[in-house]
A and B are shown apart, each in its own frame.
Chain A
Amino acid sequence: MERADVIILGGGLVGLTLAIALGKHGVSTIVVDPADPEQTIAKTFDGRATAVSSSSFRMLQAIGVAGRLEGHGCPIQSIQVSDGLAPGGLVFDAEQGDDPLGMMFENRLIRAALFETAKTVPGLNFLPKTRAAEVVRDAAGVRIALEDGRLLAAPLLIGAEGRNSPTRDAAQIPMARWSYDHVAIIQTIEHERPHGNVAYEIFYPAGPFAILPMLPGTRSAIVWSISAADAPATLGLPDRAIAAEIEKRMGGFLGAITLAGPRSSYPLGFHHATQITGERLALVGDAAHGIHPIAGQGLNLGFRDAAALAQVLVEGARLGLDLGDAQLLARYARWRSLDTFMVAASTDTLTRLYGVPGKTASAVRRFGMSLIHRIGPLKDRLMAEARGESGDLPLLLRGLSI
């Protein structure tokens, strides 16, 4: 029987970040993940990129991950939101001397940095290429039998397996969920003209289209959402045809483009667990909530879960509490519930608002955007949201140790 303070099922970006944050503060973990790390950091595995908010990045600095990402992130200095290619959209600029609005990283590079860091963290026991065959949670603790026969025990289980979390489903936690009936196509491109560290979010009736700046300055990640019905045909197009479709939607302002890297697609949906805790159980990241990738907030929400839960557990451990204590879990749930729901609900509203076709809807959107543009405080609030700086911030998100 292998024991630890916490067992984390799912060693993805959020699960590993949490394990490292806990380990750095003396809380031991066993992380179980079915994937092979060699494969998940390969160039061909994952073409996704993430806009890491400055508060998320401060946490990566505080737990010793950021050093391994040095020079790999492209700062976003400005976000331009527009209704199609029409003028009059919203522009969010980072203040001179202030943090950028986010840093674009390839997910596989973040994953590689986490794997490397995890190897150096005492008390972090990473068990790849296996999964839980049986999980028992009761008043005495959590006991797990792995498929390879090993037995694990801990006072607390954390479900970090992503949107199809078996842990969440086994706990019978009800979900609010719906599908957007859309698929996101993710594609890295090279373009003729430099992006100037600007991220573009262009709303088309068929779905939002985002151009996210990457390194070097003539490379961007495209997040292109199309209806599920059109997906197979579009994904099956030859490279040159896809490139032409993308270029059309970009309005040509970055010049001619070529594809750089694998193309992948993900079904888009909204899901929100009505509870994120259970008996000796906490959910983090997409296991708890999955949101539309339009604003690049999904992983940041997961990082905020990790930061809050790490603080709750580390502070609980220093009080000598059972880490599965119901009061600790209640604190985590209270801390995260509002933030999670606000971000989920607002990205959902945004997506629906922009999904309405027709000239009138478009005029209303443009009017709304120009209005937001003129109202300083609201804009500040939206920028703070993009940076991930609203709410009562966990210490790690301020770059501080717990």
Chain B
Amino acid sequence: MANASEPSTIDPKEAAHFGKMAADWWDPKGSSAMLHKLNPVRLKYIREQIDHHFQTDETSRTPLAGKRAADVGCGAGLLAEPLRRLGADVTAVDAAPENIAAARLHAQGQGLEIDYRVGSADTLDGLYDLVTSLEVIEHVADVRGFVGGLADHLAPGGLLILSTPNRTPQSRLMMITLAEGLGQIPKGTHDWNKFLTPEELCAIVRDAGLDVVDVEGLSFSPTRGFVLSENTSLDYFIAARKA
């Protein structure tokens, strides 16, 4: 894809950075080790919201059967693949062609059919029952434009799930000083000043015409690892619906 056609919300420097990591994405001990560790708890949140929102059976393995899902900023498919296994018809987009190449290769190895596209929310077509964009907003240049783009592709009654780090002293300590300092997250992954508080992000989501239905914290416990909690000081999820 030519640079000229890349949507304005993508920061080109950020896209290049993730591209370097692409080959390493699926290695649970590689540079995305932190994302792999986060994945079960992120999926737990998404599953809870799906069951609540769509009134699906929590013991079903395919609660998204017959539904369309879009994952924006999909990386190499750490979330897109589970959404596909949960039964959804998945479209997943990422600004970095290297990520999409890695994602396609991996999905093929897993026998999963996923529509991967290079680009941003404006490469989506039509409406989706579920739109997710996890740990992406903090890398986006125009947050309002980005959230608006996601909202445009949400079907009436659809569910949007976002996650992002909070802008607090704790998140600066944990995610920049410690995690990047100790090499658990590659250096330069995050710019703390771009982080949004839950209040700021909720306001942006509401301005995009959606109802915020849930805000939940993702916190770290030394004994239990990453857990869902009321404590939003490190990182948090927002679930919103379109009326």
Contact = CB atoms under 8 A, between A and B. Distances in A.
B40 A320 contact: no
A176 interface: no
B46 to A, nearest CB: 8
Contacts of A320: 43, 47, 61, 81-86
A231 B64 CA distance: 61
A367 to B, nearest CB: 38
B47 A318 contact: yes
A319 B59 contact: no
Interface string A135-149: 000011100000000
B68 to A, nearest CB: 16
A322 B110 contact: yes
User: Per DSSP, are chain A's interface residues mostly helix, strand or loop, or mixed?
Assistant: loop
B26 interface: yes
Interface in A293-340: 316-322, 325-328, 331
A108 interface: no
B36 interface: yes
Interface string B1-42: 000000000000000000000000010110000001101100
Nearest to B44: A319
Nearest to B63: A318
Given A319-B82, A320-B85, A321-B43, A26 B110 contact: no
Contacts of A155: 110
User: Per DSSP, are chain B's interface residues mostly helix, strand or loop, or mixed?
Assistant: helix
B58 interface: yes
Nearest to B86: A320
Of listed A140, A317, A322, residue having the most chain B CB within 10 A: A322
Contacts of A326: 28-29, 36
A195 interface: no
Interface in B69-116: 81-86, 109-110
Given A317-B61, A318-B61, A140 B109 contact: yes
A327 B40 contact: yes
Contact of B109 (A141, A328, A402): A141
A176 B110 CA distance: 36
Contact of A327 (B39, B47, B58, B60): B39
A111 interface: no
Contacts of A139: 26, 109
Given A140-B109, A327-B40, A322 B28 contact: no
Interface string B168-204: 0000000000000000000000000000000000000
Contacts of A318: 47, 58-61
Interface of B: 26, 28-29, 36-37, 39-40, 43-44, 47, 58-61, 81-86, 109-110
The 10 closest A-B pairs by CB, nearest first: A320-B82, A326-B28, A320-B85, A319-B43, A320-B86, A140-B109, A327-B40, A317-B61, A26-B61, A319-B47
6 contacts: A139-B26, A319-B43, A320-B85, A321-B82, A327-B36, A402-B59
